[in-house]
Structure 1
Amino acid sequence: MIKAIIIDDETAMRAVNSQLLSEYFPEIKQVGTASCIKSGIDLIHKENPDLVLLDIQLSDGSGFQLLQKLPSYDFKVVFITAFDSFAIKAIKFSAIDYILKPINEIEFQQAIQRAIELIEKKEHTESQFNVLMESFKKELQNKKLVLRTQNSIHVVDISDIHYCKSDNSYTTFYFDDSEKILVSKSLKEYESLLKEYGFFRPHQSYLVNLNHIKKVDKTDHGFIIMKNKKEIPISTRQKKNLIDLLDHL
C-alpha cells in the first residue's frame, strides 16, 4: 500500500487534499499531515512515506528548502502552489508534477496518478530532483529586489542583504561595509517577500538573512551575532523556532 503525507501551512488546504485523496485514491493510506518545514521533516522521518503532497510556500520557508534539508529521499513529490512564476519555472525545468491552487480536481487526479505510476515502477527521480535544486539555486543567486527611496531606485541582490530593521512604517536594509537603504514600507511586507529566500524574523523589529548568521547566543536574553558583528535580539517566542530551523540547515 502506498503511504502519503500532506505538508501545507493552510488547515483548509490540508483538509481539501486529504478529502480528494480519500475520494479518488482510496488505495492510498494517509499517514499524517504537517504545517511547516520542521514538522514536515519530523513526519517524513517517522512515517517514511511513498508520496508527499508538498506546499511550496510554508510558514517557515519553502517546500524546496524542506527537501534540501533531507540528506536523501526516495518518495515522490507533488508540489501544491498558488501561482508563482519563479517556483513553477523551477518545477517545470525538472518535470516534477505540481497542482495549482485553487485545486482543480481533474488536475489533482492526473498528478497523483502519475506519481502512483512512478512509485509502482520504482522509478528513480533523483536526476529530476537535482535539476530542480539547481534551478532553484540559480533563481536564488540571481534574484533581485527593487528598493525605492525618496531620491533613488536601488536594485539589490537578495543574497547581499544581511538584515532588515523596522522603524514603524519604514524599513532599513543593511548590507556589507555599513551600507544601508531606508524605504517607506513596513517590515511585515518584506517578511512575506523574503521568507522563502532564507530570511527569518527573530524579533518584531528585525528580519535576518540566515546565510549571514555567524552565531546564536542561547542564554536567557539571547541574541544573534551576524557575520558583520552586528548583534540582533531574539524574542523568547522565536528563540526555539530559530534554533530548530538552524538545526535543520
Structure 2
Amino acid sequence: MHKLRKNEPNEIIYLKADSNYTIFEFTNGEKDISGFTLKHHQEKPELKGFLRVNRAYLLNPKYIDRIIKQDSTFDIRLSDGTKTKVSRRRLQTIIPRAEKYSLFG
C-alpha cells in the first residue's frame, strides 16, 4: 500500500488506474502500486492540483509537456513521453488550464 510522503506529490508524474489498483509513476523512473482505486487517491488533499483527464489517468500538471489537438480529440504528452487522451467529458476543465500555461503544441 502506498502512503504519500511530504514532498512526494512534486515527484509524481502521474497516477494510472489498473483495475482496483493504482500505479504511481515517479520522476526518477520508479513505479509503485497502491491497493486503492484512482478515485481514492484523487480525493487526497495533497493531490488537489492534479488533473483527472480520463478514467485511467490523474496527471501532475507540472509534467504536462504539451496538448495536441487532432480533429475533435486532444492528446496530452507528458515530460516522460507518456501519451494519453483527454476524455470529452473532462475537456471543460482541461482546456482553460492548458491555454493559461500555453500547453498547446
TM exceeding 0.5 = yes
Q: Which runs of 5+ in 1 are unaligned?
A: 1-145, 149-153
In the other structure, the counterpart of 1:172 is: 23
Structure 1 segments (4+ residues) deviating >4 Å = none
Is the alpha carbon distance of 1:165 and 1:225 closer, same or farther for their aligned partners in structure 2, counting shifts above 3 Å?
same
In our comparison, the structure showing a higher alpha carbon Rg is: 1
Q: Which one has a larger percent strand, Structure 1 or Structure 2?
A: 2
Query: How far is the alpha carbon of 1:248 from its aligned partner?
Result: 3.5
In the other structure, the counterpart of 1:201 is: 52
Query: How far is the alpha carbon of 1:161 from its aligned partner?
Result: 0.2
Number of residues of Structure 1 aligned to a counterpart in Structure 2: 98
Instruction: Read off the aligned partner of 2:79 and give its amino acid letter.
Output: K
Q: Return the alpha-carbon distance in structure 1 between the equivalents of residues 9 and 2 of structure 2.
A: 11
Query: How far is the alpha carbon of 1:241 from its aligned partner?
Result: 1.9
Q: Return the alpha-carbon distance in structure 2 between the equivalents of residues 224 and 177 of structure 1.
A: 20
Structure-to-structure mapping, 1:154-165, within 5 angstroms: 155=5, 157-165=8-16
Secondary structure in 2 aligned to 1:178? coil
Q: Which one has a larger percent helix, Structure 1 or Structure 2?
A: 1
**Normalising to structure 2: TM-score of the pair?**
0.81
In the other structure, the counterpart of 1:185 is: 36
Percent identical across equivalent pairs?
Answer: 24
Q: Return the alpha-carbon distance in structure 2 between the equivalents of residues 248 and 192 of structure 1.
A: 24
CA RMSD of aligned residues (A): 2.0
Secondary structure in 2 aligned to 1:241? helix
**Normalising to structure 1: TM-score of the pair?**
0.36
Q: What do the CA deviations read for 1:57-87 (whole angstroms, capped 9, x no partner)?
A: xxxxxxxxxxxxxxxxxxxxxxxxxxxxxxx
Instruction: Read off the aligned partner of 1:233 and give its amino acid letter.
Output: K
In the other structure, the counterpart of 2:85 is: 233
